[in-house]
Structure 1
Amino acid sequence: MERSIVHLNIPDFYTGMEELRRPELKKHPLVLAEPAVRSVVQGVNDAARREGIREGMPLGHARRICRRALVVPPDLRFYGEVHRSILQEFARFSPLVEGPLPGRYFVDLTGTRRLWGPESDTAWRMERLLADRKGLHARVGLASSKLVSQVAAGCITAGDLSRIFPGGETSFLYPLPVNLLPGVGAVTASRLADFNIQQVGMLASIPAESLAGVFGAMSTRLLRIARGIDPTPVLPFREAARLTLVHHSDRDEIDREKLEALLFVQVEEACWNLRVHNRRPGRFALEIRHADGVTAKTRHLLPVNAVHIDQRLFRFMLPAFRRLIERRVAVRRIVLEFSDFSIPFRQMPLFPWENDSFEEDRQLQKALDDIRRRFGKQIICWGKTAVMHRSSPGQRDLPNRSGPGGF
Structure 2
Amino acid sequence: MLAMWVPELPFQLACSRDGALRDRPLAFLSAEQPRTPSLWFVNRLGRAEGLVPGMPMDQALRTARGLRVLDPSPQVWWEAQAELGTFLQAWTPQGQLLRLGEALVELQGTQRLFGPLADTAERMRRELAARNGWESHGGLSLSATAAQLAAHGERHLERVAEGAEAAFLAPQPLRRLPDLAPRLQERFRRLGLRAFGDLQPVPLPVLAELTNPKLAPDLRARVRGEDRPRLPLLTERPGHARHGWRLQPPRLPEEVGLAVRCLDRLWSDPRHPRTLVLRWWDVDGEPHAWRAGPEDLTSPPLVLARRIQQAFLAGATRRLLVREVELRLAWGLGRERALFEDPRNAKLDRLEPALARLRRRFPDQAVLPGWVGRGGHLETA
Common fold, TM-score beyond 0.5? yes
Sort the Cα spacing of 1:315 and 1:278 in 2 relative to 1 into closer, same or farther, 3 A.
closer
Give the TM-score normalised by the residue count of structure 2.
0.62
After superposition, the C-alpha distances for 1:186-222 in whole angstroms (9 at most, x for unaligned) are 6533432221112212201112333333333444443
Matched with 1:92 is 90
* SS state at 1:98 partner: strand
- Superposed displacement of residue 121, structure 1: 0.3
Counterpart CA distance in 2 for 1:289 and 1:139 is 32
After superposition, the C-alpha distances for 1:51-79 in whole angstroms (9 at most, x for unaligned) are 22234556566456446532212111111
Counterpart CA distance in 1 for 2:160 and 2:90 is 24
Counterpart CA distance in 2 for 1:113 and 1:190 is 43
Sort the Cα spacing of 1:296 and 1:190 in 2 relative to 1 into closer, same or farther, 3 A.
farther
After superposition, the C-alpha distances for 1:221-242 in whole angstroms (9 at most, x for unaligned) are 4323112232322222246488
Sort the Cα spacing of 1:100 and 1:230 in 2 relative to 1 into closer, same or farther, 3 A.
same
Is residue 314 from structure 1 mapped to residue 363 from structure 2 by the alignment? no
Is residue 227 from structure 1 mapped to residue 224 from structure 2 by the alignment? yes
* SS state at 2:50 partner: coil
After superposition, the C-alpha distances for 1:309-356 in whole angstroms (9 at most, x for unaligned) are xx942379xxxxxxxxxxxxxxxxxxxxxxxxxxxxxxxxxxxxxxxx
Matched with 2:107 is 109
Residues 283 and 299, structure 1, Cα contact 8 Å, conserved in 2: no
* Structure 1 residue runs without a partner (length 5+): 243-269, 271-276, 317-360, 378-407
Q: Give the letter for the 1:206 counterpart.
A: V
Match of 1:300 among 346, 352, 359: 352
Matched with 2:81 is 83
Match of 2:157 among 158, 161, 165: 161
Matched with 1:267 is none
- Superposed displacement of residue 166, structure 1: 1.6
Match of 2:166 among 157, 164, 170: 170
Q: Give the letter for the 1:82 counterpart.
A: A
Matched with 2:194 is 198
Counterpart CA distance in 1 for 2:144 and 2:101 is 15
Q: Give the letter for the 2:43 counterpart.
A: N
- Superposed displacement of residue 176, structure 1: 2.4
* SS state at 1:314 partner: coil
Identity %: 26
* SS state at 1:124 partner: helix
Matched with 2:8 is 12
After superposition, the C-alpha distances for 1:82-109 in whole angstroms (9 at most, x for unaligned) are 2222222222211223212331112211
Counterpart CA distance in 2 for 1:187 and 1:61 is 31
Match of 2:46 among 45, 48, 68: 48
Residues 92 and 106, structure 2, Cα contact 8 Å, conserved in 1: yes
Is residue 236 from structure 1 mapped to residue 233 from structure 2 by the alignment? yes
Residues 97 and 106, structure 1, Cα contact 8 Å, conserved in 2: yes
Residues 51 and 65, structure 1, Cα contact 8 Å, conserved in 2: yes
Counterpart CA distance in 2 for 1:282 and 1:10 is 28
Deviates more, 1:189-198 or 1:36-45: 36-45
Residues 8 and 139, structure 1, Cα contact 8 Å, conserved in 2: yes
Counterpart CA distance in 1 for 2:177 and 2:238 is 30
* SS state at 2:97 partner: strand
Deviates more, 1:188-197 or 1:30-39: 30-39
Counterpart CA distance in 2 for 1:45 and 1:185 is 25
* SS state at 2:91 partner: coil
Q: How many residue pairs align between the two structures?
A: 281
* SS state at 1:170 partner: helix
Give the TM-score normalised by the residue count of structure 1.
0.58
After superposition, the C-alpha distances for 1:281-305 in whole angstroms (9 at most, x for unaligned) are 8424897869xxxx99858376698
* Structure 2 residue runs without a partner (length 5+): 240-273, 275-292, 298-329
